[in-house]
Structure 1
Protein backbone atom coordinates (compact mmCIF):
# COMPACT_ATOMS: atom_id res chain seq x y z
CA UNK A 1 0.00 0.00 0.00
CA UNK A 2 1.07 3.56 -0.66
CA UNK A 3 0.14 6.90 0.84
CA UNK A 4 -0.14 9.97 -1.37
CA UNK A 5 0.83 13.31 0.18
CA UNK A 6 0.17 16.62 -1.54
CA UNK A 7 2.28 19.42 -0.13
CA UNK A 8 4.78 16.92 1.21
CA UNK A 9 7.77 19.27 1.13
CA UNK A 10 6.46 21.42 4.00
CA UNK A 11 7.12 21.08 7.73
CA UNK A 12 4.41 18.51 8.48
CA UNK A 13 4.81 16.65 5.21
CA UNK A 14 8.56 16.14 5.61
CA UNK A 15 8.03 14.65 9.06
CA UNK A 16 5.30 12.28 7.92
CA UNK A 17 7.30 11.11 4.93
CA UNK A 18 10.44 10.35 6.94
CA UNK A 19 8.42 8.53 9.60
CA UNK A 20 6.55 6.40 7.10
CA UNK A 21 9.54 5.63 4.91
CA UNK A 22 11.26 4.34 8.05
CA UNK A 23 8.24 2.06 8.52
CA UNK A 24 8.60 0.72 4.97
CA UNK A 25 5.51 2.49 3.61
CA UNK A 26 5.57 3.58 -0.04
CA UNK A 27 5.02 7.33 -0.52
CA UNK A 28 4.00 9.39 -3.54
CA UNK A 29 4.35 13.17 -3.27
CA UNK A 30 2.33 15.65 -5.33
CA UNK A 31 4.15 18.95 -5.70
CA UNK A 32 4.45 21.94 -8.00
CA UNK A 33 8.13 21.06 -8.31
CA UNK A 34 9.32 17.50 -8.89
CA UNK A 35 12.86 18.84 -8.60
CA UNK A 36 12.18 20.03 -5.06
CA UNK A 37 10.80 16.61 -4.15
CA UNK A 38 13.88 14.87 -5.58
CA UNK A 39 16.16 17.33 -3.78
CA UNK A 40 14.56 16.56 -0.41
CA UNK A 41 13.85 12.85 -0.74
CA UNK A 42 15.93 11.55 -3.65
CA UNK A 43 14.49 8.37 -5.14
CA UNK A 44 12.86 7.24 -1.88
CA UNK A 45 9.46 8.62 -2.95
CA UNK A 46 7.51 8.81 -6.19
CA UNK A 47 7.33 12.44 -7.35
CA UNK A 48 4.16 13.62 -9.10
CA UNK A 49 3.28 17.02 -10.50
CA UNK A 50 -0.21 18.49 -10.32
CA UNK A 51 -0.45 17.81 -14.07
CA UNK A 52 -0.19 14.10 -13.25
CA UNK A 53 -3.23 14.11 -10.97
CA UNK A 54 -5.80 13.76 -13.76
CA UNK A 55 -4.12 10.57 -14.96
CA UNK A 56 -4.62 9.03 -11.51
CA UNK A 57 -8.33 8.74 -12.31
CA UNK A 58 -7.44 5.86 -14.64
CA UNK A 59 -5.19 4.10 -12.13
CA UNK A 60 -8.08 3.30 -9.72
CA UNK A 61 -5.60 3.73 -6.83
CA UNK A 62 -6.58 0.37 -5.36
CA UNK A 63 -3.18 0.21 -3.65
CA UNK A 64 -3.50 3.68 -2.09
CA UNK A 65 -4.42 3.82 1.58
CA UNK A 66 -5.03 7.56 1.84
CA UNK A 67 -4.56 10.90 0.09
CA UNK A 68 -3.33 13.58 2.50
CA UNK A 69 -3.51 17.18 1.31
CA UNK A 70 -1.26 19.63 3.16
CA UNK A 71 -0.94 22.12 0.31
CA UNK A 72 -1.14 25.84 1.04
CA UNK A 73 0.96 28.99 1.21
CA UNK A 74 2.22 29.68 4.74
CA UNK A 75 -0.41 31.88 6.38
CA UNK A 76 2.04 33.41 8.85
CA UNK A 77 5.00 33.85 6.54
CA UNK A 78 4.59 37.52 5.65
CA UNK A 79 2.32 40.54 6.04
CA UNK A 80 -1.11 40.12 4.48
CA UNK A 81 -1.40 42.33 1.44
CA UNK A 82 -4.45 41.76 -0.75
CA UNK A 83 -2.19 39.84 -3.13
CA UNK A 84 -0.86 37.65 -0.31
CA UNK A 85 -4.36 36.91 0.94
CA UNK A 86 -5.32 35.74 -2.53
CA UNK A 87 -2.24 33.51 -2.68
CA UNK A 88 -3.10 31.97 0.70
CA UNK A 89 -6.67 31.25 -0.38
CA UNK A 90 -6.03 30.18 -3.96
CA UNK A 91 -3.18 27.82 -3.08
CA UNK A 92 -5.50 25.93 -0.76
CA UNK A 93 -8.64 25.91 -2.87
CA UNK A 94 -7.07 24.88 -6.16
CA UNK A 95 -5.30 21.88 -4.65
CA UNK A 96 -8.30 20.81 -2.57
CA UNK A 97 -10.75 21.13 -5.45
CA UNK A 98 -8.44 19.12 -7.71
CA UNK A 99 -8.12 16.28 -5.20
CA UNK A 100 -11.81 16.41 -4.33
CA UNK A 101 -12.66 15.97 -8.01
CA UNK A 102 -10.15 13.13 -8.32
CA UNK A 103 -11.66 11.25 -5.39
CA UNK A 104 -15.20 11.82 -6.65
CA UNK A 105 -14.24 10.48 -10.08
CA UNK A 106 -12.75 7.35 -8.51
CA UNK A 107 -16.04 6.67 -6.73
CA UNK A 108 -15.98 3.37 -4.85
CA UNK A 109 -12.28 2.99 -5.66
CA UNK A 110 -11.36 6.24 -3.93
CA UNK A 111 -9.11 6.20 -0.89
CA UNK A 112 -10.10 8.55 1.93
CA UNK A 113 -9.12 12.20 1.61
CA UNK A 114 -7.50 13.72 4.70
CA UNK A 115 -7.48 17.44 3.98
CA UNK A 116 -5.68 20.07 6.04
CA UNK A 117 -7.68 22.80 7.75
CA UNK A 118 -7.06 24.89 10.85
CA UNK A 119 -8.59 25.82 14.20
CA UNK A 120 -8.89 29.34 12.81
CA UNK A 121 -12.01 28.03 11.08
CA UNK A 122 -13.87 28.55 14.37
CA UNK A 123 -13.23 32.29 14.18
CA UNK A 124 -11.61 34.55 16.74
CA UNK A 125 -12.60 34.41 20.39
CA UNK A 126 -12.61 37.43 22.66
CA UNK A 127 -9.82 37.38 25.21
CA UNK A 128 -10.94 37.02 28.82
CA UNK A 129 -8.75 38.16 31.75
CA UNK A 130 -7.39 35.26 33.82
CA UNK A 131 -9.50 32.60 32.09
CA UNK A 132 -9.95 30.96 28.73
CA UNK A 133 -13.09 31.59 26.66
CA UNK A 134 -15.61 28.75 26.20
CA UNK A 135 -14.19 25.57 24.69
CA UNK A 136 -14.79 24.76 21.02
CA UNK A 137 -15.01 21.22 19.69
CA UNK A 138 -16.15 19.41 16.56
CA UNK A 139 -19.83 19.83 17.50
CA UNK A 140 -19.57 23.62 17.91
CA UNK A 141 -21.64 25.49 15.30
CA UNK A 142 -19.44 27.93 13.43
CA UNK A 143 -20.86 31.46 13.28
CA UNK A 144 -19.09 33.41 10.57
CA UNK A 145 -21.08 36.55 11.36
CA UNK A 146 -19.52 37.17 14.79
CA UNK A 147 -16.11 38.09 13.37
CA UNK A 148 -15.31 39.39 9.91
CA UNK A 149 -11.89 37.74 9.95
CA UNK A 150 -9.71 36.32 7.22
CA UNK A 151 -8.62 33.09 8.94
CA UNK A 152 -12.15 31.78 9.44
CA UNK A 153 -13.06 32.66 5.86
CA UNK A 154 -10.06 30.69 4.64
CA UNK A 155 -11.07 27.74 6.81
CA UNK A 156 -14.68 27.85 5.67
CA UNK A 157 -13.82 27.86 1.97
CA UNK A 158 -11.06 25.30 2.47
CA UNK A 159 -13.42 22.80 4.08
CA UNK A 160 -16.23 23.55 1.64
CA UNK A 161 -13.86 22.62 -1.18
CA UNK A 162 -14.04 19.00 0.06
CA UNK A 163 -17.85 18.92 -0.12
CA UNK A 164 -17.79 17.63 -3.70
CA UNK A 165 -15.92 14.51 -2.62
CA UNK A 166 -18.21 14.05 0.39
CA UNK A 167 -21.26 14.28 -1.87
CA UNK A 168 -19.86 11.40 -3.94
CA UNK A 169 -19.45 9.12 -0.93
CA UNK A 170 -15.76 9.70 -0.28
CA UNK A 171 -14.61 9.52 3.31
CA UNK A 172 -13.22 12.99 4.08
CA UNK A 173 -11.43 14.13 7.24
CA UNK A 174 -10.86 17.87 7.74
CA UNK A 175 -7.70 18.12 9.84
CA UNK A 176 -8.16 21.25 11.98
CA UNK A 177 -4.59 21.90 13.05
CA UNK A 178 -3.58 24.04 15.99
CA UNK A 179 -0.10 25.55 16.23
CA UNK A 180 2.23 22.70 15.26
CA UNK A 181 5.29 22.33 17.49
CA UNK A 182 8.30 20.32 16.45
CA UNK A 183 12.06 20.53 16.03
CA UNK A 184 13.87 22.28 13.21
CA UNK A 185 11.11 24.41 11.78
CA UNK A 186 7.47 25.35 12.00
CA UNK A 187 6.13 27.98 14.37
CA UNK A 188 8.86 27.42 16.97
CA UNK A 189 11.55 28.62 14.57
CA UNK A 190 10.17 32.16 14.91
CA UNK A 191 8.78 31.94 18.44
CA UNK A 192 12.06 30.79 19.97
CA UNK A 193 14.20 33.55 18.46
CA UNK A 194 13.57 36.33 21.02
CA UNK A 195 14.09 33.84 23.86
CA UNK A 196 17.45 32.78 22.46
CA UNK A 197 18.37 36.48 22.45
CA UNK A 198 17.21 36.74 26.10
CA UNK A 199 14.40 39.17 25.22
CA UNK A 200 11.53 36.67 25.26
CA UNK A 201 8.15 37.08 26.85
CA UNK A 202 4.42 36.79 26.22
CA UNK A 203 2.74 38.38 23.24
CA UNK A 204 0.79 41.43 24.45
CA UNK A 205 -1.33 40.44 27.49
CA UNK A 206 -0.69 36.75 26.87
CA UNK A 207 -4.31 35.97 27.73
CA UNK A 208 -5.22 34.85 24.21
CA UNK A 209 -5.78 31.07 23.81
CA UNK A 210 -2.89 29.11 22.32
CA UNK A 211 -4.11 25.83 20.78
CA UNK A 212 -1.11 23.63 19.99
CA UNK A 213 -0.05 20.08 19.12
CA UNK A 214 3.25 18.19 18.93
CA UNK A 215 4.29 17.10 15.45
CA UNK A 216 4.60 13.48 16.54
CA UNK A 217 1.00 13.45 17.77
CA UNK A 218 -0.12 14.68 14.35
CA UNK A 219 1.45 11.62 12.76
CA UNK A 220 0.04 9.29 15.39
CA UNK A 221 -3.45 10.80 15.14
CA UNK A 222 -3.47 10.40 11.36
CA UNK A 223 -2.47 6.76 11.79
CA UNK A 224 -5.24 6.39 14.37
CA UNK A 225 -7.81 7.79 11.93
CA UNK A 226 -6.68 5.37 9.23
CA UNK A 227 -7.75 2.47 11.46
CA UNK A 228 -10.92 4.11 12.84
CA UNK A 229 -12.82 4.29 9.60
CA UNK A 230 -16.14 5.39 11.08
CA UNK A 231 -14.73 8.86 11.86
CA UNK A 232 -15.53 11.48 9.23
CA UNK A 233 -15.64 15.26 8.94
CA UNK A 234 -13.75 17.81 11.07
CA UNK A 235 -11.25 16.54 13.63
CA UNK A 236 -9.44 18.91 15.99
CA UNK A 237 -5.69 18.32 15.97
CA UNK A 238 -4.82 20.01 19.26
CA UNK A 239 -3.37 18.75 22.53
CA UNK A 240 -5.74 18.17 25.46
CA UNK A 241 -4.00 20.75 27.66
CA UNK A 242 -5.57 24.13 26.91
CA UNK A 243 -3.24 27.05 27.64
CA UNK A 244 -2.96 30.74 26.90
CA UNK A 245 -0.08 32.43 25.15
CA UNK A 246 1.54 33.57 28.40
CA UNK A 247 1.62 30.00 29.70
CA UNK A 248 3.21 28.89 26.45
CA UNK A 249 5.83 31.64 26.63
CA UNK A 250 6.67 30.70 30.22
CA UNK A 251 7.07 27.03 29.28
CA UNK A 252 9.20 27.92 26.25
CA UNK A 253 11.48 30.09 28.36
CA UNK A 254 11.93 27.26 30.85
CA UNK A 255 12.67 24.74 28.09
CA UNK A 256 15.30 27.04 26.60
CA UNK A 257 16.66 28.07 30.02
CA UNK A 258 15.99 31.68 29.14
CA UNK A 259 14.06 34.46 30.94
CA UNK A 260 10.47 35.28 30.05
CA UNK A 261 10.04 38.86 31.19
CA UNK A 262 9.57 41.16 28.18
CA UNK A 263 6.06 41.21 26.67
CA UNK A 264 5.83 42.25 23.03
CA UNK A 265 3.48 45.27 22.88
CA UNK A 266 0.37 44.79 20.78
CA UNK A 267 0.82 48.12 19.00
CA UNK A 268 4.26 47.07 17.72
CA UNK A 269 2.85 43.86 16.26
CA UNK A 270 -0.04 45.69 14.63
CA UNK A 271 2.37 48.25 13.21
CA UNK A 272 4.64 45.58 11.79
CA UNK A 273 2.17 42.93 10.67
CA UNK A 274 -1.24 44.60 10.51
CA UNK A 275 -4.24 42.30 10.25
CA UNK A 276 -2.05 39.20 10.43
CA UNK A 277 -0.94 40.18 13.95
CA UNK A 278 -4.52 40.89 15.02
CA UNK A 279 -5.79 37.48 13.93
CA UNK A 280 -2.82 35.13 14.42
CA UNK A 281 -0.95 36.64 17.36
CA UNK A 282 -3.35 38.75 19.42
CA UNK A 283 -6.36 36.42 19.26
CA UNK A 284 -6.78 32.67 19.39
CA UNK A 285 -9.24 29.85 19.91
CA UNK A 286 -9.83 27.62 22.92
CA UNK A 287 -10.12 24.35 21.02
CA UNK A 288 -10.30 20.86 22.53
CA UNK A 289 -9.76 17.45 20.83
CA UNK A 290 -13.10 15.96 21.85
CA UNK A 291 -13.47 13.53 18.97
CA UNK A 292 -9.99 12.04 19.26
CA UNK A 293 -10.17 11.61 23.03
CA UNK A 294 -13.70 10.18 22.95
CA UNK A 295 -12.55 7.60 20.40
CA UNK A 296 -9.68 6.53 22.64
CA UNK A 297 -6.67 8.25 21.09
CA UNK A 298 -3.80 8.63 23.56
CA UNK A 299 -1.61 11.69 23.14
CA UNK A 300 2.12 11.08 23.49
CA UNK A 301 2.57 14.74 24.49
CA UNK A 302 -0.58 15.90 26.29
CA UNK A 303 1.09 18.82 28.12
CA UNK A 304 3.15 21.72 26.85
CA UNK A 305 6.01 20.92 29.23
CA UNK A 306 6.22 17.35 27.94
CA UNK A 307 6.15 18.53 24.33
CA UNK A 308 8.86 21.14 24.77
CA UNK A 309 11.03 18.76 26.82
CA UNK A 310 11.03 16.41 23.84
CA UNK A 311 11.80 19.17 21.35
CA UNK A 312 14.52 20.74 23.51
CA UNK A 313 16.11 17.83 25.41
CA UNK A 314 18.44 18.87 28.19
Structure 2
Protein backbone atom coordinates (compact mmCIF):
# COMPACT_ATOMS: atom_id res chain seq x y z
CA UNK A 1 0.00 0.00 0.00
CA UNK A 2 1.22 3.51 -0.82
CA UNK A 3 0.52 5.82 2.15
CA UNK A 4 0.79 9.62 2.00
CA UNK A 5 1.37 11.34 5.36
CA UNK A 6 1.12 15.03 6.20
CA UNK A 7 3.03 15.82 9.38
CA UNK A 8 5.18 12.79 8.66
CA UNK A 9 8.31 14.39 10.13
CA UNK A 10 6.60 15.12 13.47
CA UNK A 11 6.70 13.15 16.73
CA UNK A 12 3.93 10.74 15.70
CA UNK A 13 4.58 10.87 11.95
CA UNK A 14 8.20 9.74 12.27
CA UNK A 15 7.23 6.59 14.19
CA UNK A 16 4.32 5.92 11.82
CA UNK A 17 6.62 6.24 8.80
CA UNK A 18 9.08 3.79 10.37
CA UNK A 19 6.34 1.27 11.13
CA UNK A 20 4.79 1.47 7.68
CA UNK A 21 8.15 1.01 5.96
CA UNK A 22 8.91 -1.94 8.26
CA UNK A 23 5.57 -3.49 7.21
CA UNK A 24 6.54 -3.20 3.55
CA UNK A 25 4.43 -0.20 2.57
CA UNK A 26 5.58 2.70 0.38
CA UNK A 27 5.56 5.95 2.36
CA UNK A 28 5.09 9.44 0.91
CA UNK A 29 5.61 12.46 3.17
CA UNK A 30 4.54 16.07 2.68
CA UNK A 31 7.00 18.59 4.14
CA UNK A 32 7.49 22.27 3.36
CA UNK A 33 11.26 21.70 3.55
CA UNK A 34 12.03 18.15 2.35
CA UNK A 35 15.81 18.59 2.66
CA UNK A 36 15.49 19.57 6.35
CA UNK A 37 13.54 16.47 7.39
CA UNK A 38 15.35 13.92 5.25
CA UNK A 39 17.48 12.63 8.14
CA UNK A 40 14.44 12.20 10.42
CA UNK A 41 12.74 9.68 8.17
CA UNK A 42 13.52 6.25 6.70
CA UNK A 43 15.59 6.41 3.51
CA UNK A 44 12.77 4.76 1.57
CA UNK A 45 10.36 7.66 2.17
CA UNK A 46 9.45 9.84 -0.82
CA UNK A 47 9.36 13.42 0.54
CA UNK A 48 7.83 16.28 -1.48
CA UNK A 49 6.75 19.82 -0.66
CA UNK A 50 3.00 19.48 -1.25
CA UNK A 51 0.27 16.88 -1.51
CA UNK A 52 -0.36 17.87 -5.13
CA UNK A 53 3.23 16.93 -5.97
CA UNK A 54 2.20 13.28 -5.62
CA UNK A 55 -0.44 13.40 -8.36
CA UNK A 56 1.87 11.35 -10.60
CA UNK A 57 2.12 8.58 -7.97
CA UNK A 58 -1.37 8.45 -6.44
CA UNK A 59 -1.50 7.20 -2.85
CA UNK A 60 -3.74 4.33 -1.77
CA UNK A 61 -4.26 5.86 1.68
CA UNK A 62 -3.89 9.23 3.41
CA UNK A 63 -2.88 10.07 6.98
CA UNK A 64 -3.34 13.70 8.03
CA UNK A 65 -1.27 14.73 11.06
CA UNK A 66 -0.11 18.24 10.13
CA UNK A 67 -0.73 21.32 12.24
CA UNK A 68 0.96 23.99 14.37
CA UNK A 69 1.58 22.79 17.96
CA UNK A 70 -1.38 23.86 20.08
CA UNK A 71 0.84 24.60 23.08
CA UNK A 72 3.70 26.28 21.24
CA UNK A 73 2.69 29.88 22.01
CA UNK A 74 0.23 31.92 24.07
CA UNK A 75 -3.20 32.04 22.39
CA UNK A 76 -3.29 35.54 20.91
CA UNK A 77 -5.92 36.12 18.22
CA UNK A 78 -3.24 35.74 15.55
CA UNK A 79 -1.99 32.48 17.08
CA UNK A 80 -5.54 31.10 17.23
CA UNK A 81 -5.92 31.90 13.55
CA UNK A 82 -2.61 30.17 12.80
CA UNK A 83 -3.67 27.04 14.73
CA UNK A 84 -6.83 26.83 12.64
CA UNK A 85 -5.17 27.79 9.34
CA UNK A 86 -2.36 25.26 9.61
CA UNK A 87 -4.81 22.40 10.18
CA UNK A 88 -7.50 23.41 7.72
CA UNK A 89 -5.07 24.21 4.87
CA UNK A 90 -3.09 20.96 5.16
CA UNK A 91 -6.37 19.03 5.22
CA UNK A 92 -7.71 20.97 2.24
CA UNK A 93 -4.53 20.05 0.32
CA UNK A 94 -5.43 16.38 0.66
CA UNK A 95 -9.02 17.02 -0.44
CA UNK A 96 -7.71 18.90 -3.48
CA UNK A 97 -5.39 16.00 -4.34
CA UNK A 98 -8.36 13.61 -4.26
CA UNK A 99 -10.42 15.98 -6.44
CA UNK A 100 -7.55 16.29 -8.93
CA UNK A 101 -7.08 12.51 -9.11
CA UNK A 102 -10.80 11.99 -9.68
CA UNK A 103 -10.87 14.69 -12.39
CA UNK A 104 -7.93 13.01 -14.12
CA UNK A 105 -9.67 9.65 -14.10
CA UNK A 106 -7.06 8.27 -11.68
CA UNK A 107 -7.81 6.14 -8.62
CA UNK A 108 -8.57 8.08 -5.45
CA UNK A 109 -7.25 6.82 -2.10
CA UNK A 110 -9.47 4.24 -0.46
CA UNK A 111 -9.13 5.72 3.04
CA UNK A 112 -8.10 8.84 4.93
CA UNK A 113 -7.25 8.81 8.64
CA UNK A 114 -7.42 12.45 9.67
CA UNK A 115 -6.10 13.72 12.97
CA UNK A 116 -8.20 15.65 15.44
CA UNK A 117 -7.78 16.00 19.20
CA UNK A 118 -9.37 15.43 22.57
CA UNK A 119 -10.07 19.18 22.59
CA UNK A 120 -13.05 18.42 20.35
CA UNK A 121 -15.09 17.72 23.49
CA UNK A 122 -13.95 20.76 25.45
CA UNK A 123 -14.09 20.70 29.24
CA UNK A 124 -16.30 17.80 30.34
CA UNK A 125 -15.50 17.72 34.06
CA UNK A 126 -15.74 14.18 35.48
CA UNK A 127 -18.25 12.93 32.89
CA UNK A 128 -17.25 9.78 31.00
CA UNK A 129 -16.82 10.78 27.35
CA UNK A 130 -17.23 8.60 24.27
CA UNK A 131 -17.56 9.47 20.59
CA UNK A 132 -21.25 10.40 21.01
CA UNK A 133 -20.75 12.95 23.82
CA UNK A 134 -21.91 16.47 22.89
CA UNK A 135 -18.99 18.95 22.98
CA UNK A 136 -18.62 21.96 25.25
CA UNK A 137 -18.36 25.04 23.01
CA UNK A 138 -14.93 26.64 23.52
CA UNK A 139 -11.92 27.44 21.34
CA UNK A 140 -10.39 23.95 21.45
CA UNK A 141 -13.70 22.46 20.27
CA UNK A 142 -14.16 24.98 17.47
CA UNK A 143 -10.58 24.37 16.31
CA UNK A 144 -11.13 20.59 16.13
CA UNK A 145 -14.56 20.97 14.55
CA UNK A 146 -13.15 23.07 11.70
CA UNK A 147 -10.26 20.62 11.30
CA UNK A 148 -12.65 17.67 11.02
CA UNK A 149 -15.06 19.53 8.75
CA UNK A 150 -12.21 20.30 6.34
CA UNK A 151 -11.69 16.55 5.83
CA UNK A 152 -15.31 15.57 5.24
CA UNK A 153 -15.51 16.48 1.51
CA UNK A 154 -13.37 13.40 0.71
CA UNK A 155 -16.34 11.18 1.56
CA UNK A 156 -18.26 12.48 -1.45
CA UNK A 157 -15.28 11.42 -3.59
CA UNK A 158 -15.56 7.82 -2.37
CA UNK A 159 -12.83 7.98 0.29
CA UNK A 160 -13.53 6.27 3.62
CA UNK A 161 -12.87 8.81 6.39
CA UNK A 162 -11.79 8.03 9.96
CA UNK A 163 -11.39 11.00 12.32
CA UNK A 164 -8.99 10.26 15.18
CA UNK A 165 -9.39 12.47 18.27
CA UNK A 166 -5.96 12.11 19.84
CA UNK A 167 -5.12 12.39 23.55
CA UNK A 168 -1.77 13.41 25.07
CA UNK A 169 0.91 11.40 23.27
CA UNK A 170 3.53 9.83 25.54
CA UNK A 171 6.98 8.57 24.64
CA UNK A 172 10.60 9.57 25.11
CA UNK A 173 12.07 12.34 22.98
CA UNK A 174 9.02 14.55 22.47
CA UNK A 175 5.30 14.98 23.03
CA UNK A 176 3.78 15.74 26.43
CA UNK A 177 6.64 14.32 28.51
CA UNK A 178 9.29 16.50 26.89
CA UNK A 179 8.08 19.53 28.84
CA UNK A 180 6.86 17.72 31.97
CA UNK A 181 9.84 15.54 32.82
CA UNK A 182 12.63 18.13 33.46
CA UNK A 183 10.99 19.80 36.49
CA UNK A 184 9.95 16.40 37.87
CA UNK A 185 13.52 15.13 37.61
CA UNK A 186 14.56 18.13 39.72
CA UNK A 187 11.91 17.27 42.32
CA UNK A 188 9.88 20.36 41.38
CA UNK A 189 6.86 18.62 39.87
CA UNK A 190 3.27 18.71 41.04
CA UNK A 191 -0.35 18.82 40.00
CA UNK A 192 -1.91 21.68 38.02
CA UNK A 193 -4.66 23.51 39.91
CA UNK A 194 -6.70 21.11 42.01
CA UNK A 195 -5.55 18.15 39.91
CA UNK A 196 -9.07 16.85 39.36
CA UNK A 197 -9.10 17.49 35.60
CA UNK A 198 -8.77 14.38 33.43
CA UNK A 199 -5.81 13.81 31.12
CA UNK A 200 -6.63 11.36 28.31
CA UNK A 201 -3.28 9.96 27.18
CA UNK A 202 -1.89 7.36 24.76
CA UNK A 203 1.52 5.78 24.24
CA UNK A 204 2.95 6.78 20.86
CA UNK A 205 3.28 3.13 19.78
CA UNK A 206 -0.42 2.49 20.52
CA UNK A 207 -1.40 5.60 18.57
CA UNK A 208 0.63 4.47 15.55
CA UNK A 209 -0.91 1.00 15.83
CA UNK A 210 -4.40 2.55 15.97
CA UNK A 211 -3.74 4.58 12.80
CA UNK A 212 -2.57 1.46 10.96
CA UNK A 213 -5.60 -0.43 12.32
CA UNK A 214 -7.95 2.24 10.92
CA UNK A 215 -6.14 2.18 7.56
CA UNK A 216 -6.64 -1.57 7.29
CA UNK A 217 -10.17 -2.07 8.66
CA UNK A 218 -12.36 -1.23 5.69
CA UNK A 219 -15.63 -1.16 7.66
CA UNK A 220 -14.52 1.60 10.06
CA UNK A 221 -15.39 5.26 9.47
CA UNK A 222 -16.43 8.30 11.48
CA UNK A 223 -14.98 9.56 14.77
CA UNK A 224 -12.68 7.53 17.03
CA UNK A 225 -11.14 8.54 20.35
CA UNK A 226 -7.38 7.98 20.16
CA UNK A 227 -6.56 7.52 23.83
CA UNK A 228 -5.80 4.68 26.25
CA UNK A 229 -8.77 2.95 27.93
CA UNK A 230 -7.73 4.13 31.41
CA UNK A 231 -7.46 7.93 31.52
CA UNK A 232 -6.31 9.51 34.78
CA UNK A 233 -6.73 12.81 36.56
CA UNK A 234 -3.89 15.31 36.54
CA UNK A 235 -3.16 14.48 40.20
CA UNK A 236 -2.93 10.76 39.38
CA UNK A 237 -0.76 11.48 36.34
CA UNK A 238 1.72 13.59 38.28
CA UNK A 239 1.94 11.08 41.14
CA UNK A 240 2.52 8.18 38.72
CA UNK A 241 5.16 10.14 36.81
CA UNK A 242 6.94 11.16 40.02
CA UNK A 243 6.92 7.56 41.28
CA UNK A 244 8.40 6.32 38.00
CA UNK A 245 11.18 8.93 38.25
CA UNK A 246 11.70 8.26 42.00
CA UNK A 247 11.02 11.87 42.82
CA UNK A 248 8.43 13.67 44.97
CA UNK A 249 5.52 15.60 43.44
CA UNK A 250 4.97 18.21 46.11
CA UNK A 251 4.96 21.50 44.22
CA UNK A 252 1.46 22.09 42.84
CA UNK A 253 1.04 24.96 40.39
CA UNK A 254 -1.99 27.07 41.43
CA UNK A 255 -4.63 27.76 38.79
CA UNK A 256 -4.17 31.55 39.04
CA UNK A 257 -0.45 31.20 38.22
CA UNK A 258 -1.23 29.15 35.09
CA UNK A 259 -3.92 31.63 34.02
CA UNK A 260 -1.53 34.55 34.51
CA UNK A 261 1.26 32.82 32.61
CA UNK A 262 -0.66 31.22 29.76
CA UNK A 263 -3.91 33.17 29.49
CA UNK A 264 -6.69 31.30 27.69
CA UNK A 265 -4.26 28.49 26.81
CA UNK A 266 -4.27 27.52 30.51
CA UNK A 267 -7.57 25.74 29.72
CA UNK A 268 -5.43 22.96 28.23
CA UNK A 269 -3.85 22.38 31.64
CA UNK A 270 -6.81 23.06 33.94
CA UNK A 271 -9.64 21.26 32.16
CA UNK A 272 -10.10 17.98 30.35
CA UNK A 273 -12.32 15.02 29.60
CA UNK A 274 -12.55 11.44 30.86
CA UNK A 275 -12.26 10.31 27.25
CA UNK A 276 -12.58 6.60 26.43
CA UNK A 277 -11.68 4.82 23.15
CA UNK A 278 -15.08 3.13 22.97
CA UNK A 279 -15.27 2.62 19.20
CA UNK A 280 -11.68 1.37 18.84
CA UNK A 281 -12.21 -1.20 21.60
CA UNK A 282 -15.56 -2.29 20.13
CA UNK A 283 -13.83 -2.74 16.75
CA UNK A 284 -11.32 -5.15 18.32
CA UNK A 285 -8.27 -2.91 18.73
CA UNK A 286 -5.93 -4.05 21.54
CA UNK A 287 -3.77 -1.59 23.47
CA UNK A 288 -0.22 -2.62 24.26
CA UNK A 289 -0.13 0.00 27.04
CA UNK A 290 -3.64 0.26 28.56
CA UNK A 291 -2.52 1.75 31.90
CA UNK A 292 -0.32 4.74 32.67
CA UNK A 293 2.09 2.88 34.96
CA UNK A 294 2.75 0.30 32.24
CA UNK A 295 3.27 3.01 29.61
CA UNK A 296 5.67 5.07 31.76
CA UNK A 297 7.60 1.97 32.85
CA UNK A 298 8.20 1.13 29.17
CA UNK A 299 9.23 4.71 28.36
CA UNK A 300 11.65 5.18 31.25
Q: Which TM-score tier does this pair reach, normalised by the shorter chain?
A: over 0.9
How many equivalent residue pairs? 296
Offset, 1:224: 1.6
> 1:256 and 1:37, CA in 2 relative to 1: closer, same or farther beyond 3 A?
same
Residue in structure 1 matched with residue 97 of structure 2 by the alignment: 102
Runs of 4+ in 1 over 6 A off after TM superposition: none
Provide the residue aligned with 2:134 in structure 1: 141
**SS at structure 2 position matched to 1:207:** coil
The equivalent residue for 1:90 is 85
Q: TM-score, normalised by structure 2?
A: 0.94
Q: Does 1:256 align with 2:245?
A: yes
Give the superposition deviation at 1:35. Answer: 1.3
Shift of 1:58: 5.1
After TM superposition, the structure 1 stretch with the greater mean CA deviation from structure 2, 285-294 or 225-234, is 225-234
Flag the 1:113–1:287 CA change in 2: closer, same or farther, 3 A.
same
Deviates more, 1:68-77 or 1:160-169: 160-169
- Alignment-derived partner of residue 130 in structure 1: none
User: What is the CA–CA distance in structure 1 between the aligned matches of 2:43 and 2:286, rounded to whole Å?
Assistant: 34
Whole-angstrom CA distance in 1 between matches of 2:268 and 2:41: 32
Distance in 2 (CA, whole Å) between partners of 1:189 and 1:74 is: 13
Q: Does 1:308 align with 2:292?
A: no
How far off its partner does 1:311 sit?
0.4
Q: Which secondary structure state, in structure 2, belongs to the residue aligned with residue 176 of structure 1?
A: strand
Equivalent residue runs for 1:13-28 within 5 Å: 13-28=13-28
Is 1:243 equivalent to 2:232 in the alignment? yes
1:221 equivalenced with 2:210 (yes/no): yes
Give the CA RMSD over aligned residues: 1.6
Distance in 2 (CA, whole Å) between partners of 1:18 and 1:109 is: 24
Partner of 1:11: 11
Is 1:78 equivalent to 2:73 in the alignment? Answer: yes
- The TM-score, its normalising length taken from structure 1, stands at 0.90
User: In the TM superposition, what is the alpha-carbon distance from 1:41 to its structure 2 partner?
Assistant: 2.9
Deviates more, 1:78-87 or 1:113-122: 78-87
- Distance apart, 1:105 and its partner CA: 4.0
| Aligned ranges 1:107-122 → 2 under 5 Å | 107=102, 109-122=108-121
Matches of 2:215 and 2:163 in 1, distance apart?
13
Q: State the alpha-carbon separation in 2 of the partners of residues 41 and 125 from structure 1.
A: 37
3-state SS of 2:275 partner: coil
Match of 1:298 among 267, 286, 289: 286
**Match among 24, 30, 52 for residue 54 of structure 1:** 52
Residue 124 (structure 1) aligned with residue 123 (structure 2): yes
| CA distance, structure 2, for counterparts of residue 22 and residue 58 of structure 1 | 24
Structure 1 equivalent of residue 271 of structure 2: 283
Unaligned residue ranges in structure 2 (runs of 5+):
none
Cα pair 1:208 1:282 within 8 Å, conserved: yes
Gaps of 5+ in 1: 127-132
| Whole-Å separation in 1 of the counterparts to 2:34 and 2:164 | 25
